[in-house]
Amino acid sequence: MSDDELKQMMPNVDKKFRCGYVAIVGRPNVGKSTLLNRILGQKISITANRPQTTRHRIIGVKTTPTNQVVYVDTPGMHLGGKRAINRYMNRAANSSIADVDVVIFVVDRLRWTEEDDNVLQKLEQATGPVFLVVNKIDGITRKESLLPHLQDISQRRNFSQVIPLSAQTGEGVDRLEQAVDELLPESGPFFPKDQVTDRSERFMAAELVREKLVRGLAQELPYSTTVEIEKFTVENDVRHIHAVIWVERDGQKGIIIGKQGKQLKRIGEQARKDMERAFDGKVFLQLWVKVRQGWADDERALRSLGYQDD
């Protein structure tokens, strides 16, 4: 029997398993975390219609019979923020660009900004291929209207792929995954096939509380908050979680708690429901609001609150 006949009988015979790292980068609020969740088919990374929602690097692992892709969601690279937390976030994003097999640079189809230019500049450090993903194409009725814009932005660098898609509806995401697959090196898997993230339930619990704060609080307040899990125990399949919401100033505490504690109660209920979905079990959640003066601009406070470079 010839090699070709053999291949036809066993199409996978010469396809070895492939595995690699893919960083998802871009300025804040372009839809990086939404894209990660869409690819994985579950909520790993929190999202909100606000810049600077993601603060940490978060890994999402997708394993199929033929490959494993380790996606790295990153904080939005931003300009202007001068505090220690801004430096931490930008560091986490910048350091994700080198030593990955593919970089996905996400932009918003509607707007190219100075912060996109800043990301482009950081991409000089990329050692592997860079894909340009133009997100949020849902809602365009005339797809041709996108073309001039795509042509314009794809000239800004030598991208190995330019892929318009919608992280929200999933349109075009298959094409992205296909293009990623083609660039993965042959390798055995880095993670067990049923592992989806490198983050603990403790971390996810804190993030889900923070998501409700980011979505629910007005103006600058979300940027003054962080969440620390003080207790996380499991008794008879029920998770008991105590979380502290840290704020920077006394006056912020009352605003978060709200009239007769209503706002804090609502935040707690929303977060608990999401946790029960994520952990697939019952959760008792208790929240406290405490003040730690200027924690967001204090390197030591940041480290003790979980903002550590890895």
Sheet-wide strand order for 18-25: 58-63, 67-73, 18-25, 102-108, 130-135, 161-164
Q: In the complex, which residue's CB is closest to ligand GTP?
A: 76
Residues of this chain that interact with ligand GTP (CB under 6 A) are 26, 28-34, 47-49, 51-54, 75-76, 135-136, 138-139, 166-168
C-alpha to C-alpha distance for 180 and 175, rounded to whole angstroms: 9
CB of 89 to ligand GTP, least distance (A): 9
C-alpha to C-alpha distance for 102 and 20, rounded to whole angstroms: 8
Residue 90 interacts with Mg ion (CB under 5 A): yes or no: no
Question: 3-state class of 19 per DSSP?
Answer: strand
Which lies closer to ligand GTP via its Cβ, residue 24 or residue 301? Answer: 24
Which lies closer to Mg ion via its Cβ, residue 25 or residue 163? Answer: 25
Number of residues binding to Mg ion, judged by CB under 5 A:
4
Which lies closer to ligand GTP via its Cβ, residue 109 or residue 239? Answer: 109
CA-wise closest residue to 51 among 29, 20, 84, 74: 29
- The 50-89 contact track toward Mg ion, x by CB under 5 A, reads ---xx-----------------------------------
C-alpha to C-alpha distance for 3 and 288, rounded to whole angstroms: 67
C-alpha to C-alpha distance for 44 and 37, rounded to whole angstroms: 6
Which of 33, 86, 96, 197 binds Mg ion (CB under 5 A)? It is 33
Using the rule CB under 5 A, give the single segment among 18-26, 33-41, 59-67, 121-129 that binds Mg ion: 33-41
DSSP structural state of residue 76: P
Rule CB under 5 A: which residues touch Mg ion? 32-33, 53-54
